[in-house]
Chain A
Amino acid sequence: MMELVVDSKAREKDLLEGERKGQMGVQVGYPLSFLLNGDAKSIPHSVMDTIKIKTENINGKPLESECSCVKIKILFFARARDLTGLREMPLELSSGSTTRDCLNKLVAKFPCLEEIRGCIVLALNEEYTTEDSVVKEKDELAIIPPISGG
């Protein structure tokens, strides 16, 4: 990756040079130098506007993160829904996260959930599960407060 450095001191000098030599340096703004493998190079003005500066955004997309993430859906029922105000929400976690990690993240986001944390159970994809289960992409995790059917 090229590192482009604005050399403001060179600007004045080049501007004067450019004016003297009749070059059109000023039209492209500050003359820049760049480091290629650590060696300073200067960029000819005529080349300046053809250089695509590559930064973190490649084609407008952010660089892919090193860790892969999984996106799951959280369902809230009964008292859990009353406390969070939500019936459902998406949650993104790093790959390999457990249902315990999900719960920790939810309690961090909704501290009021702490009140029922001790008495809820979890269901992953419509089956009861423990806090050690690993979640995967598109899983559905339900927060189940004490039930009272019948």
Chain B
Amino acid sequence: MAGQEKTLVEILEENNPIDLSKYINYVSAPQAGAIATFSGTTRDTFEGKIVVELRYEAYVPMAVRQIKSICSSARLSWNVHSIAVAHRLGPVPVGETSVFIAVSAVHRADALDACKFVIDELKASVPIWKKEVYSNGEVWKENSEFMERKQELGKTGCCSKKVEFEAHVTKGCCGSKVKVNDEAAKDEHQ
């Protein structure tokens, strides 16, 4: 009767647009009253320059592994039902979606917060790169989220990735999440 909790991660080969409804359907469940989604799309300008397209590449096996790890971390902090993440490779023209995240949960706070967490973490740690292509040149982009985080990458002492996050205390009957004390976590792992 109840839908199974599940996680789907897909890195799509070039020229395969993201089918948003596929992932929304994937996370849908009778007991999940909320589905939160994030869609990252190619903008037409960057710092006044006209963007022709974005081109993506990835260290695919590690990217899949990292995204799954992020989803597991999300489940530690929020009461979510299902998660789906899809990221395109290759050229993504202006207006099209390059990354899509769908999260279902019983209550919207968990779904929304977990969804934000997943995209924030993806931009900080998943080995995917984009090249911004202008009419007169192209440049590899660098996520500020990664630059802030890179000193910490690879330095975890135990098997699970140490992820900095704040979990909000949820109201209602679904249990409350505890705010993680990052300083204590760091000390433990040294």
Contacts and interface: CB of A to CB of B under 8 A. Distances in A.
Interface in B13-67: 40, 56-59, 61-63, 65
A128 B154 CA distance: 4
Interface residues of A, number: 22
A86 to B, nearest CB: 14
B56 A79 contact: no
Contact of A147 (B98, B99, B127, B154): B127
Contacts of A144: 59, 127
B176 interface: no
A77 B150 CA distance: 16
Interface stretch (B106-114, B138-146, B163-171): B138-146
B154 A142 contact: no
B123 interface: yes
B125 interface: yes
B126 A126 contact: no
A78 B128 CA distance: 9
Contacts of B99: 149-150
Contacts of A121: 150, 153-154
Contacts of A127: 62, 65, 154
Contact of A142 (B62, B65, B122, B146): B62
A149 B128 contact: yes
B63 A149 contact: yes
Contact of B127 (A119, A130, A142, A150): A142
Contacts of B155: 130
A127 B127 CA distance: 10
Contact of B61 (A126, A128, A129, A149): A126
Contacts of A78: 57, 129, 131, 140
B126 A147 contact: yes
Contacts of B98: 150
Contact of B129 (A123, A130, A147): A147
A123 B66 CA distance: 12
B72 to A, nearest CB: 14
B153 A149 contact: no
A78 B98 CA distance: 17
B94 interface: no
A37 interface: no
Given A121-B154, A128-B153, A150 B61 contact: no
A148 interface: yes
Nearest to A129: B154
Interface string A51-78: 0000000000000000000000001011
19 contacts: A75-B59, A78-B140, A82-B140, A119-B142, A122-B154, A126-B61, A128-B153, A128-B154, A129-B154, A142-B62, A144-B59, A144-B127, A147-B123, A147-B127, A147-B146, A148-B129, A148-B143, A149-B58, A150-B126
Given A142-B62, A145-B142, 11 more contacts: A78-B140, A119-B142, A121-B153, A121-B154, A128-B153, A147-B123, A147-B125, A147-B127, A148-B143, A148-B146, A149-B58
